[in-house]
Amino acid sequence: MAKWQHVVGATPSGLYRVFLGPFDCVIPKTPQAIVEIMSQYAFEKPALNREGLVRSLGVGLVVAEGDVHRFQRRIFNPIFGLNRNRRLVPQVWPIALILREKIEDLVKKSRGSVVLDVHSLTMATTLDIVGITTLGVNFDSIRNPSDSILQAYEMVYPSPDNPSLIDQVVGIIFATLVPPRLLFKLPLRSIRQYHKGMRMLRSFYLTQIRQKRKEIENTSFDDTEPREKDILSALIASGLKDDKELLSHVLTTMAAGHDTTAVTLDWAIYRLSRHPEVQDRLRAEIQILRADQSLDTIPSLDAINSMPYLRAFVMEVLRFYPAVPLIGRVAASSTTVGGVVIAKGQGVLVSPYAINRQKDLWGEDAHEFDVGRWEASPTGGAKSAQALYTFSGGPRICVGKDLALISIKVLLVVLVERFCFEEVVPGFHPPFQKDTTLKAQGLKVKVSVV
């Protein structure tokens, strides 16, 4: 789609109508058209996709529509505010040190360098991070790959080389229009594994919800720390009492923060291995930050955010590899976009991957990975504030984007300070997995201690 959007010319409305097999879709190309679509609750998730997501996540922020979504955002927005962001670095840093220790051990055992399966480590790492930030629980998945919760997530969201049931189901839905309620009953091993994993997750999270509620009830009103130390505590303290509703929020937060952050970190590590000059500059900036500190000293959030080259690198990774490359919507009612009437039921496809690489928004080098564009301009030189759509936009913009950004920055500071990343096969770019997230198939890098 990115190549196609570059080839086709402009239209007065900024919209294109295409037929993808049996699907009649409208695709917005201009920032104005994209904003009009993404800012309206009139465009909802397709019914079949929503049905599949409800079965996995319940009706949380990812699935909710209209007034229900507005209500949920009013609860979540203050929870994901600046106070929580300042708590993130001390929460994420110890997990980053555990990852550093794990890789050091692997390098030592391999006598100087080791070829790593990147995704398995990043998935374990981000699971530990979202466990701490959401539940106040460290699963210790990095040191213990046999952890039951990590195993459950691998049943539901397997590796890039083994697509998950959800991704298979989404593909079948698009191809055949078979409802998830039927697909989830098929006598396949992957479906049995999926159901087993979901039972494990729901049981564990319900136990955590009930335990957390008891903690909150036994906490004095003036003692706010236990109420705010993790997202679940904040949700309960906000007045949410229904276990089913809380379970939906926990499942959604864990899934959304786990997979997408791991995918972004995968591509960041890959790009470090491809660009040693970027790695050297980033390490030099880290050394300035850490000049008077030990390896284990935790820097402040302000210190992390004051690193311009780190920001530039992370922003270019986010631009070039949006974790969610395609967003599907359906018009829930008749409306207009760019002066064109969009009928009820009309399908719409918004591609952050294509938008982030449009030459008319990012310049002639839009298809090149260039950290320097963010050094020259805080907007990366984009011609519109809506040119970067990695975190979506409008009322559905990712509520946890700061958590993801801070986590990625902290992990990169710890890893780049200690390790050198090199390509295993020079010039090799991992193919994208056809998936709901932009996973890399077969991503391996060579790692040694600096």
Give domain status of residue 356, yes or no.
no
Closest residue by Cα to residue 86 from 323, 301, 304, 243: 301
- Which CATH number covers residue 107? 1.10.630.10
pLDDT of residue 174: 46
Tell me the pLDDT band of 1, cut-offs 50, 70 and 90.
Answer: low
pLDDT at 69: 95
Reported as a pLDDT band with limits 50, 70 and 90, residue 149 is very high
Mean pLDDT of 421-440: 91
The answer to whether 228 touches 234, Cβ cutoff 8 Å, is yes
pLDDT mean over 142-152:
91
- What was the pLDDT predicted at 9? 66
Tell which residue, 84, 142, 91, 94, has the closest CA to residue 116: 142
The pLDDT, as a whole number, for residue 2 is: 57
Give the model confidence (pLDDT) of 263-281 as tens digits.
999 999 999 999 999 999 9
Q: Is residue 334 part of a domain?
A: no
pLDDT at residue 156, rounded to an integer: 86
Task: Say what the pLDDT of residue 296 is.
Answer: 72
How many Å apart are CA 310 and CA 312, to the nearest integer?
Answer: 5
- Whether 166 has a pLDDT exceeding 90, the answer reads no
Q: Confirm whether 127 is domain-assigned.
A: yes
Whether residue 302 has pLDDT greater than 60: yes
Number of domains the chain is built from: 1
Q: From CA 392, how far away is CA 260, in angstroms rounded?
A: 13
Instruction: Please tell me the predicted confidence (pLDDT) of residue 175.
Output: 43
Average pLDDT value over all residues in the chain: 89
The pairing of beta strand 113-117 with beta strand 340-342: unpaired
Which residue did the predictor score with more confidence, 386 or 170? 386
Residue 110 pLDDT more than 90?
yes
8 A C-beta contact, residue 260 and residue 438: no
- Per DSSP bridges, beta strands 23-28 and 15-20 are antiparallel
Supply the pLDDT for residue 220.
Answer: 67
pLDDT mean over 368-385? 95
Q: Is residue 309 part of a domain?
A: yes
In a domain, 114, yes or no: yes
The percent of residues above 90 in pLDDT, for the chain, comes to 69
Rg (CA), the chain: 22
pLDDT at 162 over 60: no
Answer whether residue 236 is part of any domain.
yes
Residue 340 dihedral angles phi and psi, to the nearest 5°: -100, 135
List the domain range (segments joined by +) for residue 215.
40-324+390-449
Q: How confident is the model at residue 90 (pLDDT cuts 50, 70, 90)?
A: very high
pLDDT value at residue 190: 81
Q: Kindly give the interhelix angle for 189-217 and 118-135, rounded to the nearest 10 degrees.
A: 30
What pLDDT is stored for residue 219 in this prediction? 74
Q: Which residue has the higher pLDDT, 160 or 247?
A: 247
pLDDT cut 70: percent of the chain above it: 91
Residue 2 lies in a domain: no
349 has pLDDT over 50: yes
- 434/66: higher pLDDT: 66
pTM for this predicted structure: 0.92
Q: Which residue ranges are tagged as binding site for heme?
A: 398
Tell me whether residue 348 is in a domain.
no
Going by the annotation, the residues of the binding site are 398
Cβ(124)–Cβ(142) under 8 Å?
yes
Beta-ladder partners of 449: 419
Asked which of 1-10, 16-25, 295-304, 400-409 is least confident by mean pLDDT, the reply is: 1-10
Residue 224, pLDDT > 80, answer no
What pLDDT is stored for residue 169 in this prediction?
A: 54
